Structure 1
């Protein structure tokens, strides 16, 4: 781990982040980081427990003269999104993140950085370890699997936490105080299909869409970023009629909460039409790249001859699939009529797999309004069912309704203004899925708030954390802890 990270200020925060990032911690595989966190709490001599699903809770008594303040919960999630560039050799199951400093930013070499939500975890660790930071009775809640199902938050039982205020450290804009978030549901369409033998006089091509930025499928869904699955589908649309194109396989996207950056398809066309096919693909690629030249300057669309496969999709199913993906909503479905500039409902067509007689399409539908979330999920279900797919809705989790009368919000706003020369914070709900909504189902009376430092490009290899923002955020955290309201 680079010594330059450990030399950054505040050292307490960045050193804990470096310690954490040395531990592999992909979602669903948190065993090592759970042990790491339990060992950390035990080494400090603090009460440390692991609940039934793998969440870790560490309790620290109030510092001197803070015993009469409301007890608090500081919460962040242990897992991180594992994304890397195609040309990066990296094993998230065994390797720690390789970080470096570039100007005012901390980045990772070809992978996600893990600042989401590692900087929140590191913040809490630094406070637990300190003998000089003032705070009330503190419960540190480290949840698991936030990125791929929120099963940690869902599995946390009521009555386990005693805190009255929850500080969620999972917001990615340092001028924002989060008071609400979207809920979500996974929409998965599957179908079997028959494969047919490749006919004589056929040539095979590999089509690649790559170089897209990707990013967070909630926080960045409104930015107009390219979705590799939708772009690949544009290339394939109508090509059967023109060139006899048939699909052998498609592999696009990865995680549901990441806007897909890459897609690869293997197709066959009539050998007599290959010249015109390549020309047509180049023309379509040129049009697409022109559309996205501002947002996606690194977009590449490559078409090259490849080894002829033995079998391809039957044409009827292929047509239904391509039309369904074309028709399926991707991006913003509805803006909030109540909160300016807030995306209310959206969908990310995150994963498309076509191979060996099986189709799987994975989407993540988000909304801050339950009825609107159900409406979009029903629209997607109808679209894919008309293409002969079976559709499953799973992983449903609720949103977090804003409470503008929050006591901790009333404390934090004037602190922010005092620390930032009168600048007002942006008090808002976000379109990401925070755990507060789920935690609130078992802790309905807990006063919750979310905030954090500037993190850009989360869920992509371009993820980066701003050093100056981390310093601003750290001062904010320390002042909040000093001014937690007194017990009633």
Structure 2
């Protein structure tokens, strides 16, 4: 703690006022309270970071929203922030039933006849932290750290996905010299859990002829197509009993995987924590160690490659040494297999205490679960036959857990072809059914067919070449974008997606490149000016 902060905290009247605020929180105007909260939470280091960042308007907005908790499905605070900002600036705004917020920005003088442009980003963020972190995503602000030209967060996801897009849209409200036509700023909710907000946008909600989605993560690229997707969940009923006498409880844990986005990084040969844990348990069984499964969990998000998993098993004390040796050997094998992609990978085994009443599964049921996890596919199923190195179809074994004494396994499938998506969905469903699990599907969302002849794409190419002396790379993305949903709801719209360079999305390694943000924002403003000069 710095000396100045120590003196500040020692100022007793401030302690009294802080206590008074905590008691009478609900009676204070939200705008006043927010200012006090940010002032008291703002670390000195963040001030130094902000001073170095450009463009100032964008980074100031990103800092503000980084102080506001915004987990998927719990976005009330960021929604209130947006509404209050619109009210303060006297801008027309509205909120639909899904809590999507739309702010209308009038055109610059002389550009009233320009086509309406919709800019869109989602307000929620994937909330993943390191196991050692005590961060509370429903309460704590994100803590920044500089990383040699990049901005990251301390032990958590940063929220640059899609907070940078939100910040860019808000920064435009502070621009005084930018010439633009009528704008719609659309802030959608709950994107990370299945494009929920986008699905709820009604045809009457938007007027735009063009839609710029700011949720891509490769600077210098324009995305004009995306994969559709579906979640497949298997639930297996279990019969529990007390462990036999004389058994010990043993925790087997796989941790330190790199994880990552299950669409953008599924082509990388990264470890799946659930699959490796299943392999470890299978090797124990093959070595003659008969065990009773008591606990099983792994992964945390359907759209993230699981970076860890753990199980608690009961077996004979006579097998403890054999298990330790076997797991140590397996750890070496796993580390060799994933030495480049997952350098922090660890496999551990440890005797733990457990209540005598701890329910367990029979060896037969335990083996069946391990076999199910081994059989479920994970990774790339097929590459596109027309676009080089572009993943067409994939599946992610995402989460395993025990819920209400049942095994729940959650997976997600993606494909840019609807027929291929249905095929891999049937593949996964069949594996579940062979194991006797009940199967359901959720969050089925459409893909987005590329249109290389779009006039919006032409504008993006021309403006990028004007600013940076080269055209952007035109791509499709193996991930679910809200663009696919919007294209189905607004078939007349011309849509494109772009953004700055972001790495490690959906992991505590998430970081955004500072220089690319500056170029991204400059390009965005040039695009808006170019579109404003065109007539309907």
Q: Tell me if both proteins adopt one fold, taking TM over 0.5 as the criterion.
A: yes
Equivalent residue number for residue 366 of structure 1: 414
Q: In 1, Cα distance between the equivalents of 2:436 and 2:397?
A: 18
Q: In 1, Cα distance between the equivalents of 2:178 and 2:97?
A: 31
Larger Rg: 2
Q: Does 1:34 align with 2:82?
A: no
Equivalent residue number for residue 147 of structure 2: 102
Q: In 1, Cα distance between the equivalents of 2:312 and 2:372?
A: 19
Residue by residue, what CA displacement relative to the aligned partner does 1:141-163 show, whole Å, maximum 9, x if unpaired?
00000000211000000122111
Match of 2:463 among 412, 415, 430: 415
Equivalent residue number for residue 429 of structure 1: 476
Structure with the largest fraction of helix: 2
Q: In 2, Cα distance between the equivalents of 1:476 and 1:281?
A: 52
Match of 2:342 among 296, 302, 312: 296
Residue by residue, what CA displacement relative to the aligned partner does 1:309-346 show, whole Å, maximum 9, x if unpaired?
53311222222221121111101111111221111111
Q: In 2, Cα distance between the equivalents of 1:316 and 1:382?
A: 21
Q: Does 1:330 align with 2:374?
A: no
Q: In 1, Cα distance between the equivalents of 2:535 and 2:411?
A: 44
How far did 1:39 drift?
0.6
Match of 2:129 among 65, 84, 95: 84
SS in 2 for 1:129: coil
Match of 1:357 among 377, 380, 405: 405
How far did 1:5 drift?
3.7
Equivalent residue number for residue 159 of structure 1: 204
RMSD, aligned α-carbons:
1.3
Does structure 2 conserve the Cα–Cα contact (< 8 Å) formed by 1:79 and 1:144? Answer: yes
How far did 1:203 drift?
2.0
Equivalent residue number for residue 215 of structure 1: 260
Q: Does 1:188 align with 2:236?
A: no
- Mapping for residues 76-475 of structure 1, pairs under 5 Å: 76-241=121-286, 242-308=288-354, 310-354=358-402, 357-422=405-470, 424-475=471-522
Does structure 2 conserve the Cα–Cα contact (< 8 Å) formed by 1:5 and 1:14? Answer: no
How far did 1:355 drift?
6.1
Q: In 2, Cα distance between the equivalents of 1:194 and 1:239?
A: 22
- Mapping for residues 1-40 of structure 1, pairs under 5 Å: 1=42, 2-7=46-51, 8-40=53-85
How far did 1:238 drift?
4.6
Equivalent residue number for residue 22 of structure 2: none
Q: In 1, Cα distance between the equivalents of 2:111 and 2:50?
A: 30
Count, aligned residues: 487
Does structure 2 conserve the Cα–Cα contact (< 8 Å) formed by 1:105 and 1:464? Answer: yes
Equivalent residue number for residue 26 of structure 2: none
Does structure 1 conserve the Cα–Cα contact (< 8 Å) formed by 2:378 and 2:396? Answer: yes
Equivalent residue number for residue 95 of structure 2: 50
How far did 1:430 drift?
0.2
Q: In 1, Cα distance between the equivalents of 2:404 and 2:418?
A: 37
SS in 2 for 1:441: helix
Does structure 2 conserve the Cα–Cα contact (< 8 Å) formed by 1:268 and 1:308? Answer: no
How far did 1:414 drift?
2.2
Does structure 2 conserve the Cα–Cα contact (< 8 Å) formed by 1:249 and 1:355? Answer: no
Does structure 1 conserve the Cα–Cα contact (< 8 Å) formed by 2:57 and 2:174? Answer: no
Residue by residue, what CA displacement relative to the aligned partner does 1:426-476 show, whole Å, maximum 9, x if unpaired?
100001111011111211100000000001100011100110111111111
Query: Structure 2, unaligned stretches of length 5 or more?
Result: 1-41
SS in 1 for 2:342: coil
How far did 1:417 drift?
2.0
Q: In 1, Cα distance between the equivalents of 2:103 and 2:403?
A: 46
Q: In 2, Cα distance between the equivalents of 1:126 and 1:300?
A: 43
Does structure 1 conserve the Cα–Cα contact (< 8 Å) formed by 2:334 and 2:345? Answer: no
Residue by residue, what CA displacement relative to the aligned partner does 1:393-425 show, whole Å, maximum 9, x if unpaired?
111010111010110100111221222233x32
How far did 1:356 drift?
6.2
How far did 1:216 drift?
0.8
When structure 1 is superposed on structure 2, of 273-282 and 463-472 the one drifting more is 273-282
Query: Structure 1, unaligned stretches of length 5 or more?
Result: none
Does structure 2 conserve the Cα–Cα contact (< 8 Å) formed by 1:226 and 1:292? Answer: yes
SS in 2 for 1:462: coil
How far did 1:197 drift?
2.1
How far did 1:258 drift?
1.1
SS in 2 for 1:243: coil
Q: In 1, Cα distance between the equivalents of 2:298 and 2:433?
A: 21
SS in 1 for 2:347: strand
TM-score normalised per structure 1: 0.97
